Structure 1
Amino acid sequence: MQSEIVIVGGGAGGLELACKLGRRLGPSKVALVDSRLYHIWKPSLHEVAAGTLDIHQEGLSYQMLGHDNGFTFILGAMTGLDSAGKRITVGPVSGGGEEVLPERHIGYGALVLAVGSTSNYFGVPGAREHTISLNATEDAERFRLKLLRLLASADEHLEEGRKSGLDVVIIGGGATGVELAAELREASGVYAVYGFSHLQARRDVHITLLEGAPRILAPLPERVSNAALRLLKKRAIQVVTDCRVTSIEKDKIHDGKGNTYPADLCVWAAGIRAPEFLGTLGLPTNRGGQVEVDGHLRVKGVPDVYALGDCAACVDGNGKPVPPRAQAAHQQADYLRTTFVRRAQGKAAQEAPYRYRDYGSLVSLGHTTTVGSLMGALRGASWFVEGFVARMMYLSLHLLHHQAVLGSVRTAVLAVARFLIRRTTPLVKLH
C-alpha cells in the first residue's frame, strides 16, 4: 500500500491533522495508522478512571472518522521504519487468539509521527509493577474496575462491623494527578449513593497526592497552584509536597524522608517520555526519547519525516522548547496542514518556522469547579480564572477538539445527546 501522507498516531494532534488533510486532499492521499479502533480525548482519561465518563459512549471510531473526513484508516502498531525506501512496517493484529491482519508495509511520500507519550518511571523500584498509569483507555478502565472492586469490598467489611477503608495514592501533582484526585473524591461520594450504603466517602476513602516539587501544578502560576491546593484540601484530599518517592511495594509507598504511605490503589502521574519504540527507528532522539525536529517540524537529518505533539522535541521560532501540551499538538497540526496543502499545490514550503503560542492552562477539579490562567496578547500577561466561567471554558476545549474532527453541526448534536443520556443513566459507571 502507498499513501502520499501517512500519519502514525490518532491522538489529538494526529487525528486533527488527518481529518483536516483528508477533507482537503482525499483518502487516496492521506492515511492514519493507529493500534486502536477508536479515539478518546486523552485529557478526559481521569474521568474514565473515576467512572464518571463511559468510554463506550465517548469513543469515536477511526473508521467512521476516516469515512466522514476523507482519510484511510490502517489498524495496527508501527514497528519499523525504512527511511531510505520511504516505507513503514505495521505489525500484525490479533483477536481471540487468532491473527486478524498480517504484518504490512506502507509506502509514504511524507511521514508524520504523532504517537504521543507514555509514563516516565525515572527508575523508581516497583513503579512499573505496582502502579497504574493513565496512558490509554485500557489503563483507565483497569483502574476503574479495580476501584469498583475495592469499594465493594470496603462496603461489605463496614456492613459486617469491621473497620475498613480504601487508600488511594496518586504520585505526581501535575494536571493529571490533581484532576484525578478531585474527580475521585467527587465520584466516591456518588458511588456511595448507588448501593454502597455503609461507605462514607470522606471518612472511608482516603486520597493522598504526592508531589516532588515544592508545590502542585509547578509549571503554572503560583496563584493557580494555591487555588487548586485550597480546593483539594476542602475536599479532604491530603497533599504532600517536596516528596521524593524512592520505592513502591504492592500495598505501600516509601519516600526519601522515611515516610510510608499505605496504598490499596496507586496511580503514577509523575512524568512522561516518548514511546520507547521511537529509539529503534534510527531517528535522532533526546534523553526523554523524543524525536528531534527543526523549526518546521521536520525530523533532523531524515528527509520527508515529520513529528508533532508529545513525541517531538521541538524548539520553536521563538527559541524556546515547546511544552508537551494538547494545545501545542493542535497548533502543530495546523502548521503541518498548511505545509502539506502547499506541497500538494506545488507551492514552496512555508518560510516561517512554527511558533508556539501559550493561551494558558485550565485544570478541572470535579464537575463543578475549574481553575486556571489565561494568557493575554501582552507578553507575560496572564489572568487568573476560577469557578463557573473557568468550567465553561474547560468544557469548550473538548468541544473544539470534537468540532475539528466532526464538524460544527455533529458536535452540537453530540453535545445535546450526551447531555440527555446523562439524565437517563447513572452518574458513575457501575459495571
Structure 2
Amino acid sequence: MLTPNKAPAPATPDGLQADPSPAAAQNLEGAPLPNIVVVGGGAAGLELVTRLGDRLGRHGRARITLAERARTHLWKPLLHEVAAGSLDPNVHEVNYLAQAHWHGFRYRLGEMVGLDRSAKKVHLGATLDDEGREITPPRSIDYDILVVAIGSVTNDFGTQGAADHAVRLETPAQAARFNRRLVNACLRAQTQAEPIRPGQLHVAIIGAGATGTELAAELHRTLREVIAHGLDRIDPERDIRIVLIEAADRLLPALPERISKATRRLLERMGVEVQTSARVKEVTSEGVRLADDSFIPAELVVWAAGVKAPEVLRDLDGLEVNRLNQLVVEPTLQTTSDPSIFAMGDCAACPMPGDSGFVPPRAQAAHQQADHMLAQIEKRLRGQELQPFVYRDFGSLVSLGHHSTVGNLMGSLFGRGVFIEGLFARMMYHSMRVMHERALNGTRYALLSFLSRGLSRRTGPSVKLH
C-alpha cells in the first residue's frame, strides 16, 4: 500500500532543520512529555540513555534521545586489542539503532556542532557517506534536560609532527587502521627484495598510561603470532622492537608505584623496551625524536600520552570550560552556567568531595556517573533536590595480554590498596566489561556474550591477519 509523501520538517530560525519527530508528545494526562537528550554514546552516555529508555521512554514518562556521530559503540578499553589484532570489533560492537529500538529511546545520527541555550536546542552537523553524499542534514533537537557525554580525544600538546605521523586510538576505525598498517608492514618485509632495514618493524608507543602499556603487551604477542603464519623471513627477536616512551619518571604514573614496578618488570621480561623520563620533541615519518635529540626509529608511532575534551566544548554557548576543554560541573553534575545541562564522563571536570582534585577519566567513573545521573534525572522530573556525585575508587587493573594482569583492588573501601596479580586479577579485569554489557542489555545477555567469546577464540585464528 502506498503512503502519502511527508512534508519536509520545518527549518529553525538559524537555518537548521528541526527534528522531524513530533515535538509535543504528551503523557496520558495530556501534559507535554519532557525531552531528555544525551549527546555522546560512549560508556557513560549509552548506559544512561539505555536505562532512561527502559524506565521512562517505554512507559511514556519522557522522550529520550541519543545524539551520536557514530553508528556503533565499542567499549573504549578494548581499542588496544583492536589495534593489536586480538579482537574483532564487529563481534563486540553495539548497534545504536538496534539498541534504541530495543530500549525505548530514539537515536539521532550526527555530531554536536553547537548549542542554543535560550531556545534549548542542540545543533547537529550534517553526516556524509564515503562518496560525500549527505545522509542526514544539519538539524536541531529540542531538549528540556541535556546531558553532554562526548568523552575525550587525544591531546598531543602541540608536539611537532604528532598530528601527521602518529596514530591515535580514539575510535574503532583508527584502531583497525593501525592494525592494517601493522599487518601490511609484516607482509611488506616478507616479500620485499631488499633486506629488512633497521626500524622497519619497530613500533614506538608514546605514553605509558593504561592504553599505551596494555597495547605494548598485546602487540608483543600478536606480532609474533602474525609472523608465525608463514612469514618465515622475519626474525621476531632480531627484527621486532616495541618501545614504550613515558615523560614521567615511571610508567603508569597515575597508579600506585607498586603496580608500576610490577608492570615494568613484566614488560621487560617480555622484551618490551621501556624508556621513562623521556620527553618527545618531534614525531617524523621515520620515528620519534626525544628532547635530548636521541632518535628512535619506528615504522609505526602511536600517541597515547594524554587526553582532552573535544574542541566543540570550548565555545558552547557560554558554558564554562577548563584548559582541557572539559565542561566545569557542580558536584550534582550540573554545569556551572546552566542547571538544565549536565555533563559526565571524560568531558566533565567534576570535583572530588573533600579533595582539591577531579574525578579521573576512567571507565569505572563513567559507569558510576551514569548510575548517578539516572537517579538525578528522575529526581529533577519529580522536583526533588539533587544529590552530589561521590566517586568511589574500586582500584585499578592493567591487562598485559595473556602474560598477566596486575592492579590494586578496592582501594578506597579500606583506605589502602590490595595488590593483586595473575589469574584473579585477570578475572576482575574481564568483569568490568561484563558489568558494562550488563548495564546495556541485562545479566543474561552479558553472561551469554562472555561464553560466546570463549568459544569463538577456539574456532579461528587468535589474531587478525588482514
| Equivalent residue for 1:288, pick from 324, 327, 330 | 324
Query: Structure 1 CA distance, aligned partners of 2:211 and 2:38?
Result: 26
Do the aligned partners of 1:78 and 1:88 also contact (CA within 8 Å) in 2? yes
Query: Structure 2 CA distance, aligned partners of 1:371 and 1:379?
Result: 19
1:128 maps to a residue whose letter is A
Q: 1:424 to 1:78 in 2, by over 3 A?
A: same
- Counterpart of 1:276? 311
Work out whether 1:329 is the aligned partner of 2:363.
no
Do the aligned partners of 2:392 and 2:412 also contact (CA within 8 Å) in 1? no
Matches within 5 A, 1:29-48: 29-48=63-82
C-alpha deviation, 1:199, in angstroms:
2.2
Work out whether 1:124 is the aligned partner of 2:159.
yes
- Counterpart of 1:111? 146
Work out whether 1:407 is the aligned partner of 2:442.
yes
1:276 maps to a residue whose letter is E
Query: Structure 1 CA distance, aligned partners of 2:266 and 2:109?
Result: 42
Query: Structure 1 CA distance, aligned partners of 2:167 and 2:114?
Result: 28
Do the aligned partners of 2:42 and 2:75 also contact (CA within 8 Å) in 1? yes
Do the aligned partners of 2:395 and 2:412 also contact (CA within 8 Å) in 1? no
Query: Structure 2 CA distance, aligned partners of 1:169 and 1:256?
Result: 15
Query: Structure 2 CA distance, aligned partners of 1:63 and 1:81?
Result: 24
Aligned residues: 428
Work out whether 1:99 is the aligned partner of 2:134.
yes
- Counterpart of 2:252? 217
- Counterpart of 1:367? 402
Work out whether 1:308 is the aligned partner of 2:339.
no
Segments of 5+ residues of structure 2 without an aligned counterpart are 1-18, 24-33
Do the aligned partners of 1:127 and 1:268 also contact (CA within 8 Å) in 2? yes
Query: Structure 2 CA distance, aligned partners of 1:175 and 1:395?
Result: 15
Matches within 5 A, 1:8-407: 8-26=39-57, 29-95=63-129, 96-157=131-192, 165-281=200-316, 282-319=318-355, 320-344=357-381, 346-350=382-386, 352-376=387-411, 378=413, 380-407=415-442
Query: Structure 1 CA distance, aligned partners of 2:172 and 2:430?
Result: 20
TM-score of the pair, normalised by structure 2 = 0.89
Query: Structure 2 CA distance, aligned partners of 1:252 and 1:368?
Result: 28
Query: Structure 2 CA distance, aligned partners of 1:280 and 1:117?
Result: 16
More displaced, 131-140 or 365-374? 365-374
1:283 maps to a residue whose letter is L
SS of 2:90's partner is helix
Q: 1:155 to 1:280 in 2, by over 3 A?
A: same
Do the aligned partners of 1:10 and 1:115 also contact (CA within 8 Å) in 2? yes
Do the aligned partners of 2:216 and 2:242 also contact (CA within 8 Å) in 1? yes
Query: Structure 2 CA distance, aligned partners of 1:147 and 1:39?
Result: 24
Q: 1:241 to 1:368 in 2, by over 3 A?
A: closer
SS of 2:447's partner is helix
1:278 maps to a residue whose letter is L
Segments of 5+ residues of structure 1 without an aligned counterpart are none
Query: Structure 1 CA distance, aligned partners of 2:230 and 2:212?
Result: 28
Query: Structure 1 CA distance, aligned partners of 2:139 and 2:94?
Result: 24
C-alpha deviation, 1:400, in angstroms:
0.7
Q: 1:190 to 1:147 in 2, by over 3 A?
A: same
Query: Structure 2 CA distance, aligned partners of 1:37 and 1:183?
Result: 27
Q: Which has the greater radius of gyration?
A: 2
